[in-house]
């Protein structure tokens, strides 16, 4: 399950380098690029200064509050000394979670975060944003990956989660070698 979550996050953050086919096979790395006249040039990386984890924590708290939620009622991710990860999650009613996710996303856009589009098309349960060297994944899910010491969603509930990861994509060699992984 952890591998599936990591691959899903990777596919949302770096869609050019992760492809999942109909058989459930996951391809990491991009095959040799084939130029296409209809392909738009990629958006250049922002030159704005990198954000700190504390700044991203504040962005998350503000977006959650803008959605009408109390940031203290959810669980912040215990990042400890890891200054490149942060997040927040809460168990919500399934019907409310979708509208709250939309409100969180609207506030992130208001704060200047840029949508990182998913090449597989619009996915109502997940959105990825980028800004200042950080990627924020906002998603809802019915199944919980939470430890048994926390409350898991019931059939009418879902988790609303914001996950922040600081990545320096210039450290990733391009093109990546192609690797195929089968999970399950």
* pLDDT 10s digits, 94-115: 888 989 999 999 999 999 999 9
d(CA 184, CA 182): 7
Which of the residue ranges 55-64, 75-84, 123-132 has the most confident prediction, judged by mean pLDDT?
55-64
Distance CA 103, CA 149 (A): 29
pLDDT at 39: 46
For residue 76 the two structure tokens come to: 């912040």
pLDDT digits (tens, 9 = 90+) for 126-180: 999 999 999 999 999 885 454 434 455 567 889 999 999 998 766 666 666 677 7
Contacts of 39 (CB under 8 A, 6+ apart): none
- Is the pLDDT at 48 greater than 50? The verdict is yes
The percent of residues above 90 in pLDDT, for the chain, comes to: 34
Long-range own/partner contacts, residues 27-35 (CB < 8 A, 24 or more apart):
27/178, 27/179, 27/180, 27/181, 28/176, 28/178, 28/179, 28/180, 28/181, 29/175, 29/176, 29/177, 29/178, 29/179, 30/174, 30/175, 30/176, 30/178, 31/175, 31/178, 32/175, 33/175
Question: Domains in the chain and their CATH numbers?
Answer: 49-172 (3.30.310)
**E strands in 24-171:** 25-28, 75-76, 85-93, 114-115, 126-131, 134-141, 157-166
| Residues near 106 by beta carbon (within 8 Å), at least 6 away in sequence | 66
Helices (H) and strands (E) in the chain, counts: 3, 9
Of the listed ranges 45-49, 101-105, 118-122, 139-143, the least confidently predicted one is 45-49
């Amino acid at each position: 399950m952890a591998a599936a979550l990591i691959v899903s996050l990777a596919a949302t953050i770096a869609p050019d380098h992760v492809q999942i086919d109909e058989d459930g096979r996951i391809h990491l790395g991009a095959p040799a690029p084939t130029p296409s006249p209809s392909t738009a040039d990629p958006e250049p990386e922002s030159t704005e200064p990198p954000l700190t984890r504390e700044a991203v924590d504040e962005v998350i708290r503000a977006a959650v509050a803008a959605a009408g939620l109390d940031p203290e009622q959810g669980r912040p991710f215990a990042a400890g000394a890891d200054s490149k990860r942060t997040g927040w999650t809460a168990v919500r009613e399934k019907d409310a979670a979708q509208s709250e996710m939309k409100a969180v996303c609207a506030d992130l856009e208001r704060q200047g975060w840029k949508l990182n589009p998913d090449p597989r098309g619009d996915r109502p349960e997940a959105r990825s944003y980028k800004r200042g060297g950080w990627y924020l994944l906002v998603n809802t899910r019915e199944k919980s990956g939470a430890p048994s010491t926390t409350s898991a969603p019931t059939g009418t509930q879902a988790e609303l989660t914001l996950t922040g990861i600081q990545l320096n994509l210039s450290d990733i060699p391009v093109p990546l070698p192609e690797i195929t992984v089968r999970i399950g």
